[in-house]
Amino acid sequence: MLLLNSYHPGYEWSDDEMRGVREAVLGARPDAEIDTEFLDHRRHDNPSCADAFAALLRSKYARSRLDVVITTDDAATEFFLARGATIAPGAPVVFCGVNYRDDYSRAVQLARQGGFPVTGVLETVALADTARLALRLHPGARRIFTVGEDLVDRYDLQLARALPGIEVRRVSPHESSLEEFGRRLEALPEDSIVLLSAFSHDGLNRQLSMVESVRYTAAHCRVPLYGFNKNALGHGIIGGKLNDGYYQGRAAGEMAVSILNGAPPASLPIQSDAGQPFQFEAAELERWGIKDHQLPAGSIVRGRRPSLYAQYRTAILAGSGFITAQSVAIVLLLFQRSRRRRAEAALAASEQHLRGVLNSLFAFVGVMTTEGILTEVNLAPLEAAGIRAGDVVGKPLWECFWFSHSEQERERIRAAVLRAQSGGSSRFDVEVRMKDGPVPVDFMLTPMRDASGRITYLIPSGVPIAERKRAEETLRRSEERFRRLVETLPGMLFITDAAGHNIYTNRSFHEFTGLSEQDLEGEGWIRALHPDDVDRTRATWERCVREGRLYEIEHRFRRSDGAWRWHLTRGMPLRSSDGPIERWLGIATDIQDRKHSEAALRRANEDLRQLIWAASHDLQEPARMVTTFTQLLSERCAGELREQGRQFLEHARQGAQRMYELVAALRAYWEVSDEGLAGALERVDMTAALGEAWRSVQPLADAACAEMTHGELPVVTGDRDALAQVLGHLLRNAVQYRDPERRLRIHVSAELQGSVWKFRIEDNGLGIAPEHREYIFGLFKRLHSRGDITGSGMGLPLCRRIIERAGGHIGVESELGRGSTFWFTLPHTTVEENNIFVGRAHSRH
Amino acid sequence: MSAGRILVIEDNPADVFLIREALREQHVDARVDVVDHGDRARRLIEEHPASASGCPDLVLLDLNLPGLDGLALLELMRDRNWCARTPVVVFTSSESRLDYERAMLLGVKRFVHKGSGYEAFVQVGHVIKQILDPSTPP
C-alpha cells in the first residue's frame, strides 16, 4: 500500500497520522508493505513540483500493483484524486483527515463515478462536544467565545444551534494588534469560556507560530480555555475533544485493512468521527479544580506526574507518628501566622493608599452608617466649608454644616438616606453651604453591600458644579446674543445640517421671501429661487456639500412682492474641532443694484470704446480728404480767389489740419488700449531713447533756445518706440509750457527705488497749479487756449496709458511760476522674468 | 514711358481721383483699373487665375476696404499664386506696425502712408513710376 502525505516528515500532525496508520495496519496485517511518500505541500506549494512528483510516482509504481492508497489531509487527497488515474489506475483510495467542505462529498462522488473507489475519514471539528463538556465542568458559565482562524462563522453557528441559551461570540485576533486582542481577552466576563484554535497572525500581520498563539491566548485568558487541536495541549489549554492525527490515522488504517481483507471500498462509509477521545492537561485540570471523576469516560489526561504520595508512599508510612504530625502542625501555624501578618500589612498599606487618593480628589466623598451617621469624609468638602473632620464626623449628614442653611435641602438629604437604607441610589443637584456661601453640587448617595448582599454603609459623594453652571449660563447668553445678532442681520442668513438641509433661516430671509421658516426648511428654500437658477444652484450646492468646499453662487430670489432680485450667496462649512463638517452657515446678499450698475458701466464702457474706435478710424478718412483738398485748393486755385476768399481758405485749411491731428491722436490712444497693438518687448537703453526723443523735438527746442541735460539712465525692458514717445511728449510738453521770461532748462534723471526705476523730467517752465495736476492727464485737456500753445491735448493721456500698461505710474510735481517735474516709474526687471506688455503707438503731433 | 496697366484696389473715389492726378503729374501713362470693394477684388482673384499676360503691371492696394480687407486680399493672392510677379504697393492710412510687418511678410514692394496732405499722393505716384520704369531717378 501507498501512504501519501500532504506534508513532510517531522511535521507533528503528519507524524501522528502516520503513527496511527502504521499501528492500525501493521497491528492487523503485519505482512503489509507500506510505502510512504511526501507531497511536501506546506513548503513547496507549486504546480510544477506537483507535476514532477506525479511523474516520479508514475515511473515508480508503473510495474507494481497498489492494493490501497492512503492519502493524508487535503493536499495529498486532491492531488491523488486528480492524477491518481495515471499513477495507480483503479487503486482504492482511503483519505484521512480531510477537512469537511460542502463540495467535498461531490468531489468524492465524481471520483467514484470515474472508477475510483474512495472512502476515508473526515476531520470533524468536535467543538460542540468540547463546549458541552466545558459548560458542564464550569456550571457558572453562560457564554462561549471562540478564538482563532479555523473557527469560521459556520462553527459559531453550529455551536449556537447546539447550545441553546448560551451566547456564542467570536474574539478575532485578526481585527487588531496582538496587544489589543490580549486586552479584549482579559476583559471577557467571568461567566465565559473560550474555545481556541491556533492562529498565525494578528491584525497588524505579525506572524506567530501555532504554539506562540496558544501561549499568548492562555496568558491573557482569565476564564477557562478549551482547545481544538491536540497540538495545543501542554501550552495552556485545559483540553477538549481534540483533533488528533493519531486517531484519524488509526481510523484510516483500519479502513485500509478492511480493504486489504477484501471489503469493497464502497461498502465502507465515509467516517466523520474518528473516535477521538477527550484529552486534558493535568496541570490545567488542577488549576480549575476539575476532578478526574468529572471527566467523560475514556478521557486521556496528559502531563500527569505521579503524586508525592504514590512516589514516597513507603517512606511516609515509615515516618509516621508524633514527629511528623507535630512538624506538620508547626509548619501550618507558622505559615498561617506569617500569612496573616502579611495580609494585615497589605491592608494597612492599601487603606492608607486609598485615603491618600480620596484626599487628593476635588470631589466630595464620605462614608456613613446605614442610619446616615457620617464616619469618614475626605478633605475636599472640609476645606471648602472651612471646617474640620471633628465638626461633622459622628453626626447625621443632614445635620452637618453643609446643609445648615436650608431646611429644604436637609429634607432632601434625609429622604435620600431613607431611600438608600432600602437599597436605592439617589442623585440630584443640591445647594451645599461652603465658607463663601452655598454652591451647587451634583450629589449622589449609594448604599454599599457586603458579600452577602446586606447594606453595610452608605456612600455620599458630590462634585461641585458651579463652574459647569457658569459655563452653561455663559453659553446660553452667548447663544442668545448670537441669535439676536443673526436675527437682525440685514443679510439673509441660513444654517443647514451636514447634508445641506436647511434647519434655520433668519428674519431677513422670511421678510424678503415672505415665506415662513417651515416653508424654507430642508429643500424648501429652493422654491424661492428663480426656476432658471434652480438646477445650477442645486448642482453647485450639492458639489460643495459633498466636497466640503466654500460655496459661492449668484442667483435670483423671489421677493415677497414677486420681483426677482439677484443675490450673491456664500456658504461656509462649520466643523467641529476634530474635523467633520457639522453645519453649513450661509448668507445671501442682495446684489441687484450692484449688478445693475455693473451692467450699466459695462455698457457705457463699450459705447465709449466704440465711439473712440469710430472717431479714430472712420473720421480719419474724411479729415484727410478735407486737408488734402483744401491744400490742393490753396496751392492750385488760390489765384482764382480774391484776398478774402484766400483768407477763408487758409482758415479752413488750418481747421482741417487740426481736425486731422486730433483724430490721429485719438487713434494713437486707442491703439495703446487692450484691443490695440502690442509692441515687442526689448532691452531699451533709456539714454538712447532720450536722444531719439530729443531729436524729435529739436526744431521746437532750438527755436526756444532750450537746454537739456541728463544724469545716468538705466537700461529697462519695454517697447522702445513707446518709451521714446513718452520721453518725446514730456520734452515737448516742457518746451511748449516754458516760461518766456527765462531760458528753458530741462534735466532728465533716473533713480532706483526698491523694485522700480523712477524717471524725472524737470523744467523751469510755467508750472502747473495744484488743481490742474490730475486734470492734465485727462483726454483732450489743455490748459491754454489754442492761440497760446499748440497741442492736441492727447499727449499726457497717451503717456499715462503707455506707462500704466508697462506696469508703472506717471505723475507731476510742480510749483506755479517755478517749473514742473514730470515723473514716471517702470518696473526694474530682467528680460527673462519680464512679462510686461507695453502698448505701442505712432502719432504725429 | 511705355503704357502699362495698374490695378487700383481702393474704395475712396477721392483717393482714386488724387491717385490719377498724381500719376498724370508723374507722366505715368498707364491704364488704371479700379476695384472699389474688397469682395469684388476677391472675386477677381478667385475667378481669374490670371496668366502672366493677363496680369496687371502693378497693384496699388488700400488696406482698409469694405468687405474683405487689404491684408486678407494679399493673403488670398499669395495662396492662389495670383500674379505672383506683379509688384504690390500698399497705400494706406494705417499707421500700425503690425499691418506694415504683415504686408512686408506677404511680399509687398512698398508701403506708403496716405498722410494728411497731397504730398503722400505725389510720393505714391513717384513710387509707381520708379517700379514701372526702373530708370527713374529715386
Please write down the HEC assignment for all residues of A276-325.
Answer: CCCEEEHHHHHHCCCCHHHCCCCCEEECCCCCHHHHHHHHHHHCCCHHHH
Nearest-neighbour CA in chain A from B123: distance (Å)? 14
**Predicted local distance difference test score (pLDDT) of residue A792:** 60
Instruction: For residue B117, give the nearest of A621, A627, A679 by CB distance.
Output: A627
Report the distance separating Cα A388 and Cα A394, nearest Å. Answer: 12
Cβ burial, residue A647 (10 Å; 0-12/13-18/19+): exposed
Report the distance separating Cα A722 and Cα A840, nearest Å. Answer: 5
- The per-residue pLDDT for range B10-62, each reduced to its tens digit, is 998 889 999 999 999 999 889 999 999 999 999 988 887 665 567 899 999 99
Contacts of A617 in chain B (CB under 8 A): 64
Cell of A319: 515516618
| CB within 8 Å: A624 and B116 | yes
Nearest-neighbour CA in chain A from B54: distance (Å)? 33
- A647 three-class SS: helix
The answer as to whether B11 is a domain residue is yes
Cell of A660: 486731422
**Predicted local distance difference test score (pLDDT) of residue A832:** 42
**Predicted local distance difference test score (pLDDT) of residue A307:** 53
Residues facing A826 on adjacent strands = A757
The residue in chain A having the minimum alpha-carbon distance to the alpha carbon of residue B117 is: A628
Residues facing A428 on adjacent strands = A443
Contacts of B97 in chain A (CB under 8 A): 677, 679, 721, 840, 842
Contacts of A842 in chain B (CB under 8 A): 95-97
Report the distance separating Cα A121 and Cα A271, nearest Å. Answer: 5
Report the distance separating Cα A106 and Cα A118, nearest Å. Answer: 12
| CB within 8 Å: A671 and B116 | no
Amino acid A727 reads L
The answer as to whether B104 is a domain residue is yes
Q: Are A731 and A783 in contact (CB under 8 A)?
A: no
Report the distance separating Cα A367 and Cα A459, nearest Å. Answer: 5
Q: What does the H/E/C string look like for A156-210?
A: HHHHHHHCCCCEEEEECCCCCCHHHHHHHHHCCCCCEEEEECCCCECCCCCECCH
Q: Are A766 and A788 in contact (CB under 8 A)?
A: no
Amino acid A384 reads A
| CB within 8 Å: A627 and B18 | no
Cell of B48: 481669374
Q: Are B25 and A632 in contact (CB under 8 A)?
A: no
Cell of A330: 508547626
The answer as to whether B137 is a domain residue is no
Cα separation values, A426 from A219, A404, A797, Å? 41, 20, 88
Q: Do you know the residue count of chain B?
A: 138
Instruction: For residue B95, give the nearest of A632, A679, A842 by CB distance.
Output: A842
Nearest-neighbour CA in chain A from B13: distance (Å)? 11
Instruction: For residue A632, give the nearest of B97, B116, B118 by CB distance.
Output: B118
The answer as to whether B87 is a domain residue is yes
Nearest-neighbour CA in chain A from B92: distance (Å)? 10
Mutant choice from B19, B116, B123 vs A, greatest count of A C-beta within 10 A? B116
Residue A534, chain B, CB below 8 Å: the answer is no
**Predicted local distance difference test score (pLDDT) of residue A487:** 74
Mean pLDDT estimate for chain B? 88
Mutant choice from B21, B25, B95, B113 vs A, greatest count of A C-beta within 10 A? B95
Q: Are A156 and A145 in contact (CB under 8 A)?
A: no
| CB within 8 Å: B118 and A635 | yes
**Predicted local distance difference test score (pLDDT) of residue A676:** 41
Report the distance separating Cα B49 and Cα B43, nearest Å. Answer: 10
Nearest-neighbour CA in chain B from A806: distance (Å)? 19
Report the distance separating Cα A651 and Cα A647, nearest Å. Answer: 6
The answer as to whether B12 is a domain residue is yes
Residue A654, chain B, CB below 8 Å: the answer is no
Q: Which pairs with CB-CB distance under 8 Å and at least 24 residues apart come from A690-695?
A: A690/A724, A690/A727, A690/A748, A692/A724, A692/A727, A692/A728, A693/A724, A693/A725, A693/A727, A693/A728, A693/A731, A694/A727, A694/A731
Instruction: For residue A621, give the nearest of B93, B115, B118 by CB distance.
Output: B93
Q: Are A128 and A193 in contact (CB under 8 A)?
A: no
**Predicted local distance difference test score (pLDDT) of residue A311:** 52
Residues facing A367 on adjacent strands = A376
**Predicted local distance difference test score (pLDDT) of residue A675:** 42
Domain containing residue B119: CATH number: 3.40.50.2300
| CB within 8 Å: A840 and B97 | yes
Count of beta carbons in the 10 Å neighbourhood of residue A191? 12
What is the domain extent for residue B57? 2-132
| CB within 8 Å: B116 and A627 | yes
| CB within 8 Å: B93 and A620 | yes
What is the C-alpha end-to-end distance of chain A, expressed in Å? Answer: 121
**Predicted local distance difference test score (pLDDT) of residue A748:** 95
Nearest-neighbour CA in chain B from A631: distance (Å)? 7
Residue A724, chain B, CB below 8 Å: the answer is no
- The per-residue pLDDT for range B102-111, each reduced to its tens digit, is 899 888 999 9
Instruction: For residue A628, give the nearest of B18, B96, B97 by CB distance.
Output: B18
Report the distance separating Cα A3 and Cα A73, nearest Å. Answer: 11
**Predicted local distance difference test score (pLDDT) of residue A215:** 85
**Predicted local distance difference test score (pLDDT) of residue B50:** 61
Q: How many domains does chain B have?
A: 1
Low-confidence ranges of chain A (pLDDT < 50): 316, 675-678, 783-790, 830-845
Amino acid A551 reads Y
Residue A842, chain B, CB below 8 Å: the answer is yes
The answer as to whether B89 is a domain residue is yes
Q: Are A804 and A777 in contact (CB under 8 A)?
A: no
Q: Do you know the residue count of chain A?
A: 845
Report the distance separating Cα B66 and Cα B40, nearest Å. Answer: 10
